[in-house]
């Protein structure tokens, strides 16, 4: 079944599905209804997403094509080489779309005063300023290099801009390379008119003739290489006996900087003769060399560009500001630690603030009744109050244990640094497993109260990251349910002992029980036939067993609704296979990140929140947790979130049987789910300020409006 599933026509390739997702991100940059500065940010997000895609996914496919040429993808039947061919073909038009979107945004920003200049468009006094800037600021930190028989080709670090020049001297050609120093700002703002700026690489490109003055510069371009950054957990390094795991990770980070080139980007057309230098030096094909005609190769500066505009103009060009609100289920000034002992509480980020959770940890650190705090950590902010509170707890004599995943991709060094800080404060640090990333989000506070031990457990869908809690949509359950607390305690004990096969009464824990239990819940709905119902919200779907089970549910007449932000290897609406399945994706102001699973309706409904997407890596190769939602008030709040997502007519895109996405039909009163949830959070906070009792509903007015009553 697994080997033949792609032949049945209801699955698609993971990588091509991801490119469709990033195209939806790019569509936000193309949308004229999105404020200009936000469109610019979406261009930057699209670019950084594509960078990571090439570093990780394309990198791993290049490795696969080299070591196992016959291996085929189970969802499309394509070999690694065939997938790479289709990826390069699909990416090229995305570059053209990005160029067009950038030109549109750039020209409109220029029209309102925020103008990106070229060297040719500088006024005479501006040319003098840039000339002095080059001489005094740029030139002293430059490290130009030439490549010839006496000067070997240097290692070019991935995602570092270089000026590449084809040089001639005494009828001999050679290559000139000029790295753009990391110490320089990406843009230079002109002093007299601070909303006029020029890119640093454009200055260097113009002055390349001066830098290589003893040569004739025949051609020049801005160059950027992308290197394979995929580090497999089963690499040889992880198999080394003994030694410190943290040191192994530091070694792997050093290795990442020298891995093979998988993409070359240039910012202007060049001759085939010049291009041959890149093909031969980097061992890439023409298909791996991408031309960005108008958009800069790096767009990270987009996030700070608005700071150079007057406040009123910046506000006009940006999303309306939003501050995460007081949680609807917690009265203002009320202790979350004390409230959780009375009832289950749900926090919904970024609509509600993470601060009450952080204060709960701080309160626990100083509470004489608290015996222990145990927590899993996958990603943290660069400045993390959570770590300071955990360190304070350890210094106050609490038993603090943190299971830190050192292989959180691109956050490895940050996690290494935090683990050292916590160890110094007396926290016990566990580094998890060599073959399984620990991706679960769980925190357990143990208290002794009136001679009895009580547990407060937090289970979430997202990281304990104070920065991303303002940018990603996630939900977080805090409960004093002793059955969940006992499971949480057993989970941490098993992690400390290296036991992945632990048994739990309420929690589903991957890699042993999560997938089997989800499939069993689907089987329960399949048994109900047309009365069955499955509603799932998550980020990506690749697990072949889950895909096959969803097809089975559809064939049995079960209504299946999925809200899948990113990759979806299942194609809905395919006759005879998935005609009872719908898939919607929402890309908007916030990154949709929460995972919510619903099976059945009414009194028979079973609901879970989870750290896991329905991807093979999550269900089989990571430690993940799904937690049941029993409290009616919490269920109502989660349904309100899902209800808003289901009825979005602004940002929602519907997956078609051919793998494309379409907008929902226009309606008289369009609804943007994220805007709606922001408005409801503000309204709930306002009511909380006036009414100390927890607000029971979340979107009652909206539901009433939808029902027509």
Annotated binding site for Mg(2+): 379, 409
Nearest 5°: phi and psi at 230? Answer: -80, 115
Q: List residues forming the annotated binding site for ATP.
A: 49, 472, 565, 593
Q: Mapping DSSP to helix (H, G, I), strand (E, B) and coil, where does residue 216 land?
A: strand
Cis bond upstream, residue 350 (ω within 30): yes
Q: List residues forming the annotated binding site.
A: 49, 379, 409, 472, 565, 593
d(CA 310, CA 382): 29
Q: Which of 406, 154, 146, 409 is nearest to 258 (CA)?
A: 154
Phi-psi region of 219 (alpha: psi -120 to 50; beta: other; left: phi over 0): beta
- What are the distances in angstroms from CA 73 to CA 2, 80, 552? 10, 8, 21
In sequence order, the β-bridge partners of residue 400 are 373
d(CA 77, CA 56): 21
d(CA 550, CA 573): 12
> Residue 479: enclosing H or E segment and its boundaries?
strand 472-479
Beta strands in 107-171 (DSSP E): 115-116, 145-147, 162-169
Q: Which two tokens stand for residue 580?
A: 């009872």
Compute the chain's Rg from CA coordinates.
27
Q: Which of 568, 703, 704 is nearest to 642 (CA)?
A: 703
The Cβ of residue 407 has, within 10 Å, a number of other Cβ atoms equal to: 22
Q: Which two tokens stand for residue 102?
A: 């950038």
d(CA 417, CA 249): 12
* Residue numbers annotated as active site: 439
Judged on CB neighbours under 10 Å (0-12, 13-18, 19+), 170 is: exposed
d(CA 189, CA 557): 61
- What are the distances in angstroms from CA 123 to CA 116, 127, 185, 192? 13, 6, 22, 11
The set of residues, in sequence order, having a beta carbon less than 8 Å from that of 147 and lying 6+ positions away, is 153, 154, 174, 175, 176, 177
CB 82 within 8 A of CB 61: no
Q: Which of 340, 346, 378 is nearest to 642 (CA)?
A: 346
> Residue 448: enclosing H or E segment and its boundaries?
strand 442-449
CB 250 within 8 A of CB 416: yes
């Amino acid at each position: 079944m697994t080997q033949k599933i792609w032949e049945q026509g209801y699955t698609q390739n993971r990588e091509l599905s991801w490119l469709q997702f990033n195209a939806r991100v790019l569509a936000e940059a193309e949308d004229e209804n999105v404020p200009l500065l936000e469109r610019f940010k979406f261009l930057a997000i699209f670019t950084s997403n594509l960078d990571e895609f090439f570093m990780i996914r394309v990198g791993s496919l290049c490795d696969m094509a080299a070591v196992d040429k016959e291996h085929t993808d189970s969802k499309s039947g394509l070999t690694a080489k065939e997938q790479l061919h289709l990826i390069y073909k699909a990416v090229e038009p995305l570059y053209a779309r990005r160029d067009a979107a950038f030109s549109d945004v750039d020209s409109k920003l220029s029209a309102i005063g925020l103008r990106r200049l070229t060297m040719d468009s500088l006024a005479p006094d501006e040319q003098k300023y840039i000339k002095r800037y080059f001489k005094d600021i740029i030139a002293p930190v430059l490290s130009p290099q030439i490549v010839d028989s006496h000067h070997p080709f240097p290692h070019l670090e991935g995602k570092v801009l270089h000026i590449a020049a084809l040089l001639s001297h005494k009828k001999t050609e050679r290559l000139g390379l000029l790295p753009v120093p990391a110490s320089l700002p990406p843009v230079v703002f002109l002093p007299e008119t601070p909303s006029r700026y020029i890119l640093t690489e454009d200055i260097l490109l113009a002055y390349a003739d001066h830098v290589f003055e003893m040569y004739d510069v025949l051609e020049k371009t801005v160059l950027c290489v992308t290197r394979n950054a995929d580090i497999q957990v089963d690499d040889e390094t992880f198999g080394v006996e003994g030694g410190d795991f943290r040191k192994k990770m530091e070694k792997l980070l050093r290795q990442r900087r020298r891995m093979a080139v998988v993409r070359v980007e240039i910012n202007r057309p060049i001759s085939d003769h010049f291009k041959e230098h890149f093909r031969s030096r980097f061992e890439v094909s023409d298909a791996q060399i991408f031309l960005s005609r108008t958009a800069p190769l790096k767009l990270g500066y987009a996030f700070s560009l608005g700071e150079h505009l007057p406040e009123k103009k910046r506000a006009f060009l940006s999303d309306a500001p939003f501050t995460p609100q007081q949680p609807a289920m917690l009265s203002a000034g009320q202790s979350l630690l004390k409230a959780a002992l009375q009832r289950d509480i749900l926090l919904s980020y970024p609509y509600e603030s993470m601060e009450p959770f952080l204060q709960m940890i701080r309160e626990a650190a100083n509470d004489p009744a608290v015996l222990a705090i145990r927590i899993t950590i996958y990603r943290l902010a660069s400045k993390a109050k959570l770590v300071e509170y955990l360190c304070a707890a350890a210094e106050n004599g609490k038993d603090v244990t943190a299971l830190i995943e050192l292989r959180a991709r691109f956050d490895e060094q940050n996690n290494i640094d935090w683990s050292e800080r916590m160890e110094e404060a007396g926290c016990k640090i566990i580094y998890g497993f060599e073959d399984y990333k620990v991706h679960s989000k769980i925190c357990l506070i143990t208290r002794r109260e009136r001679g009895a031990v009580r547990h407060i457990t937090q289970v979430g869908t997202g990281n304990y990251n104070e920065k991303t809690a303002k940018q990603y949509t996630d939900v977080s359950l805090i409960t004093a349910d002793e059955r969940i607390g006992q499971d949480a305690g057993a989970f941490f004990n098993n992690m400390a002992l290296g036991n992945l096969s632990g048994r739990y009464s309420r929690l589903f824990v991957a890699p042993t029980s999560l997938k089997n239990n989800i499939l069993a819940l689907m089987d329960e709905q399949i048994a109900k036939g047309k009365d069955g119902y499955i509603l799932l919200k998550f980020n990506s779907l690749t697990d072949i067993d889950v895909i096959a089970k969803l097809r089975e549910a559809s064939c049995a007449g079960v209504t299946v609704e999925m809200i899948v932000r990113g990759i979806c290897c299942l194609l809905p609406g395919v006759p005879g296979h998935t005609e009872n399945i719908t898939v919607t994706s929402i890309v908007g102001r916030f990154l949709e990140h929460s995972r919510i699973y619903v099976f059945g309706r009414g009194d028979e409904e079973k609901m879970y929140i989870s750290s896991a997407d329905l991807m093979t890596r999550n269900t089989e190769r990571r430690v993940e947790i799904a937690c049941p939602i029993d409290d009616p008030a919490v269920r109502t709040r989660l349904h309100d979130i899902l209800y808003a997502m289901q009825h979005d007519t602004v940002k929602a895109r519907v997956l078609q049987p051919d793998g494309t996405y379409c907008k929902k039909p226009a309606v008289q009163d369009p609804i943007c789910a994220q805007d709606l949830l922001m408005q409801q959070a503000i309204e709930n906070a306002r009511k909380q300020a006036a009414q100390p009792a927890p607000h029971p509903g979340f979107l009652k007015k909206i539901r009433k409006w939808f029902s027509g009553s």
